[in-house]
Structure 1
Amino acid sequence: MTAEAIVQVSLQERQMSKQSVQTADQLKQEGNQAFKDKHYAHAQLLYSKAIEADPSNAVLFGNRAFAAIRLEEFGSAIADASKALELDPKYAKAYYRRGDASYALGHFKDAVRDFRAAIRLAPSDPDLRRKLAEAEKEQKRLAFEKALATPDEKPVSDEIVLEDIIVEDSYDGPRMEADENGQLRVTLEFIKAMLQAFKEERLIHRRYAFEIILQAQAILKQLPSLVDIDVPADTHLTVCGDTHGQFYDLLRIFDLNGLPSDTNPYLFNGDFVDRGSWSVEIILSLLAFKCLYPQHLHLTRGNHEAKSMNTIYGFVGEVKHKYTAQMADVFRETFCWLPLGFVVGGKVLVVHGGPPVACNATLDEVRKLDRNREPPEDGPMCEMMWNDPMDGPGMVPNKRGVGVAFGPDVAKRWLEANGLQMVVRSHEVKEEGFEVAHGGYTITVFSAPNYCDQMGNKGAFIRFDSDCTPSFTKFDAAPHPDKRPMAYAAGAWSSML
């Protein structure tokens, strides 16, 4: 090649490089606008296209990490922030984003490390200092709890003496009635009055709240980790997905589909609490129905029925604000007794996240699990709360940073090996409130419309008949009082949506 030709090629390469940078910058601006409009998945896609045009730009990876955080894909956020730091070790926002994602996963030591690094580069950022303080506080709390923990530690639930909690004469809310043995009992009349009080933003008395929680806990303790539900001829079962503290949308479900009863059974598939700011009202309502109809109101444990999530995303703060720290502990212990999944009609697995495909656990192995614990970071219990489906074949680490993503071939193989036809799971926002994927092997249902007052999605629920044929109902978000999501989340994290 002549010298003139080499110069010409060099000029062309520079021109192409300049065009790529311009293309990437235009895509970044479009992504920023989509992010501003709260279209996080579209923003993530635009940032990805920008990275294809200019893979050397650290800011693009940092922006995509931020979009991933909004989509709760914390594993992807950590990977993108780490790549940004490879490209630019002095990029403060990349440390910030990686710290946010680590905090969201409960990896407080990693979050502290990254927030400190970010502060060294941006010492005047007050938000960073607040987040560092929160992460250090949680890190110390975990260390303190670990130091105090003993193998035979007595449950907080055992310390509650219900008779010592006096209902004052001045209390003007719903009241429980005593049965012939003097035991306070949950009745339909009480639940209806309680729902109305909650709708008017009034709480029930602490005594009654503890009665509901402890009576429900006793029922849950008698259940196996995987529960079989029959759907006899001429009956049905309604399955709802995440409700996430959106109490007024729970009322909409009941308006559309009727209250739970022995002829109108429901299964709520986890993530009752966190994010929305009426989590206490939702969980007390569902537990009360569990007390009244123990064979016809079913509750699955989701990944947010866990201490690590409740501490960050608002439920613990909400319980402390509305009741007491002791009650938050009793809720935590009750969550540990929630079943991990249900087999409906011998055909359908209903589980919050997905089937335990990575560890290839069988239904019988799940039935034998000791679920009375906080969720581990791997194994069948973890997967059932955290796994997600994906379009492509095979199995890969989940974008969330916990569990795996599984393809249609994996779902089909696991279901057939366990004698099942489909899995119904929740755990993910869907634009129409539900999604049928994997050729019908995997269905997602999500029942929190306009999730966190910003996603614009519909909610949905599924009704199964005795043949386990699903039918879907979509619904829009219900109006609610002017209270923002995560109003009770810890400090600097109340805006992490």
Structure 2
Amino acid sequence: MGCGAQGGTIKMVSHHVTVSKLSKSERSIRAAILIQQWYRRYVARMETRRRCVWSIFQKLEYISEQDQLKLQSFFGNMLVHYKSLQGTNRRSLQSMDGKVIHVIHTCLTLLTEDDGPHLDTVKVPDDYDGPHVQLPMTLKGLQTMIVSFKQAKILHDHYVMLILTKVCKLLQSLPNITKATTHISQQITICGDLHGNLDDLLIIFHKNGLPDNDNPYIFNGDFVDRGSYSVEVALILFSLLLLYPSAIFINRGNHEDYIMNIRYGFVDEVTMKYPDNGHTIISLFNEVFRWLPVACLIDGKVLVVHGGISPSTDLKHLNTINRNKYKSLLQPQGGSSIATGDSDKDWRQLFDVLWSDPVPTNGSKPNTMRGGGVYFGPDITDKVLDRNNISLLVRSHECKDEGYEVTHNNKVITIFSSSNYYQHGSNKGAYLKMTPNRELHFVQFLNTNKDGHLKLSLRHRISVIESSAIKELRKHINSNRTNLLNQFQQYDTTQSGTITVCQWVDSMETVLQLGLPWHTLKHQLTQINKDGRVVYSTGLDEFCVKDKLKAGAKITETLYRNRTTIETIFKLIDQDNSGYISMSEFESCCQLLEQVTGTHFPPETVKNMAVAMDINHDGLICFNEFLESFRLCDT
């Protein structure tokens, strides 16, 4: 033992002597290398955490869009149940199952008909202190409007209706595929998704200049929804189009759609900002969105579309479609579902270019993550580009952490222009500048207006974003807790309350199917005991009552999971956006159901159903009463 100890001492002394023999500069270099290695490991850990957070946000976003497309199934089954509900009672209403359907889109035509005030009847009061709009649009008028929007002023209803009416007439004269050129201005700027982010739009204009005939722009869809300033962003883009109709190109995105607007915030924003004429303005926006072109061709060689392509994409066919005939692209013509919409070739052409995403593997398959469109590989890109005699595809539709991405052997570019999309600091925005010889220049930016954000260290910024992502993930876990518990208990044959980490990971992926790095997330979502086993109930305790078999717990969970879907249905029936369903609105809904099903609902039956929903007997059905009436339970 003495020799061992002595040997250790000699080794330590020897090492000390070796280090002491180094010169000061050599010691400094060694210290710098150690610091550099430590910093690289630190940055790598932060990057791993950031990528994990990114994956959570993106997967949950796609799950939400998938749910939106499944919404059409909800109304179809509701129709089936309505047939059997004539003369029924409230208890039968509560027993409706939770499969979900398509009548929403068949009803859409009448639900969006506007019988409200018209432009000439909406007057601007003398005490209005916001910007005034005169047509034809002038640069000074546009600049005044932008300044007022920066000051959080609301453009008067009359001027909003004026701009929408004029831009709709202009759009009706445009083809499905517009043509842009770089040969006059020697460049063109392409912007991706903005999603109501006014600050980012103004950053782009500050860095790249306002659009004009010498500085043309393409805005590639999804400029509304999610953000708080979708109205302002849309009005600025439409005003620019009126001012420079030959230099501004606006493509339709998958969010320029009435059904998407109901779920993702644009309808709520319009209703809040324009309570007196909200329904009319929403109807005008919907008409404008349906007339937006779906693609832009630059110099005949660069195709700009919002989503992407599919094996059947044919530009000649795409350019012949009557794009305005679809009240919502979430529903093919004739009321058929998306799943059976392949027979409607016009709809398929439009739907695929707005919803598809590129993947690194060859081939094409349904876009199961979003629930619509296709995944297309490099081979599909090559075939479609060659068949249509184009060399480059520029698309948006997907948030990228750097604001852009180049894939498919440099033939597909994704550009995304909304920074901080998921959470402040989550991603950069970017725009693309292109020259006549197709030189590409990507410009990145990050909106840093949020107070105190820049004062935080990298670690703290990542922690803030990570906390938000975990919170959203926990909500999703909460909505699936019964299925998760059942899956956990299949592994826990001894009822010990614990399972192995691998079993927990397998259970999470089997039930949620999110493709997340569950091994990395396990410490944030559950508890690991001293034996290295997962105490799986700890991941669910904060969400549910301890007695998971308590009566009604499963129904409540299903309601929670489908709350957004039910809220969308409620908003569709609530035609005046008052927040309540009146008797006349309920009767109107039943009349629409009659038209679709060919089944007559006696007035007494309609009245009984409405009375059954009106729990507090005030003559109106609020959302909570509507939610209670449609308690969903697994059959």
Residue matched to 1:354: 308
Letter in 2 for 1:439: N
Which of these residues, 352, 365, 368, is aligned with residue 396 of structure 1? 365
Please say which structure displays the higher CA radius of gyration: 2
Q: Residue in 1 aligned with 2:215?
A: 264
Provide the secondary structure at the position in 1 that maps to 2:160. Answer: helix
Unaligned runs of 5+ residues in structure 2 are: 1-45, 79-93, 333-337, 342-347, 453-467, 469-561, 568-635
Q: How has the CA–CA distance of structure 1 residues 456 and 250 changed in structure 2, closer, same or farther, with 3 Å as cutoff?
A: same
Q: Identity of counterpart residues, as a percentage?
A: 35
Give the equivalent residue in structure 1 for 2:571: none
SS of equivalent to 1:192: helix
**1:117-157 alpha-carbon deviations (Å, 9 max, x no partner):** xxxxxxxxxxxxxxx9xx99x97xx757745857xx9964x
Given residue 165 of structure 1, which amino acid in structure 2 is its aligned partner? V
2:68: which partner in 1? 104
Aligned length: 374
Q: 2: distance between equivalents of 1:224 and 1:322? A: 32
Q: Distance in 2 between matches of 1:460 and 1:231?
A: 20
Q: Is the 8 A contact 1:38 1:455 kept in 2?
A: no
Please state how far the C-alpha of 1:185 moved relative to its aligned partner.
Answer: 2.9
- 1:171 alignment partner AA: Y
Partner of residue 303 from structure 1, selected from 251, 254, 277: 254
Structure 1 match to 2:399: 429
Whole-angstrom CA distance in 1 between matches of 2:244 and 2:226: 27
Equivalent residue, structure 2, for 1:363: 315
Q: Does structure 1 residue 161 correspond to structure 2 residue 118?
A: yes
Report the TM-score when normalising by structure 2.
0.54
Taking structure 1 as reference, are residues 111 and 450 closer, same or farther at Cα in structure 2, changes over 3 Å only? farther
Does residue 345 of the first structure (1) align with residue 287 of the second (2)? no
Give the ranges of 4+ consecutive aligned residues of structure 1 lying more than 3 Å apart after TM superposition.
33-43, 100-103, 108-114, 142-150, 153-156, 158-161, 491-494
Deviation at 1:481, TM superposition (A): 9.3
**Cα gap change, 1:446 to 1:145, in 2 (>3 Å):** closer
Asked if residue 313 in structure 1 is aligned to residue 264 in structure 2, the reply is yes
For residues 85-484 of structure 1, the aligned pairs below 5 Å read 103-107=67-71, 109-110=73-74, 143=103, 146=106, 149=109, 156=114, 161-177=118-134, 184-233=135-184, 235-323=186-274, 324-355=278-309, 357-358=310-311, 360-372=312-324, 373=326, 374-375=328-329, 376=332, 377=338, 379-398=348-367, 399-454=369-424, 456-479=426-449
Once the two structures are superposed, residues 196-227 of structure 1 have per-residue CA deviations (whole angstroms, 9 ceiling, x without a partner) of: 11111111111111111111111101011111
Amino acid at match of 1:325: H
RMSD: 3.4
Counterpart CA distance in 1 for 2:73 and 2:112 is: 28
What TM-score does the superposition give when structure 1 sets the normalisation length? 0.69
Distance change (3 Å), C-alpha of 1:148 and 1:219: closer
Find 1:73's aligned residue among 58, 62, 65: 62
1:256/1:319 CA distance change after superposition, 3 Å? same
Moved more, 228-237 or 362-371: 228-237
Deviations 1:363-384 (A, max 9, x none): 1111101110221445110001
Secondary structure in 2 matching 1:393 = coil
CA shift digits 1:3-47 (9 cap, x unpaired)? xxxxxxxxxxxxxxxxxxxxxxxxxxxxxx99998944545xxxx
Query: Which protein has greater RCO, CA pairs closer than 8 Å, 6+ apart?
Result: 2
What residue in structure 2 maps to residue 52 of structure 1? none
Are the aligned partners of 2:351 and 2:373 in contact in 1 as well (CA < 8 Å)? yes
> What SS is found at the alignment partner of 2:291?
coil
What SS is found at the alignment partner of 2:323?
coil
Change in CA separation of 1:363 and 1:108 when aligned onto 2, cut-off 3 Å: closer
Q: CA deviation at 1:455?
A: 6.3
Q: Counterparts of 1:148 and 1:272 in 2: how far apart (Å)?
A: 22
CA-CA distance at 1:68 after TM superposition: 6.2
More off after superposition, 369-378 vs 436-445: 369-378
Offset from partner CA, 1:324-378 (integer Å, 9 cap, x none): 12211110111000001011101100000002x23x1321111101110221445
Secondary structure at the counterpart of residue 272 of structure 2: helix
In the alignment, the residues of structure 1 paired with residue 235 and residue 179 of structure 2 have an alpha-carbon distance, to the nearest angstrom, of: 24
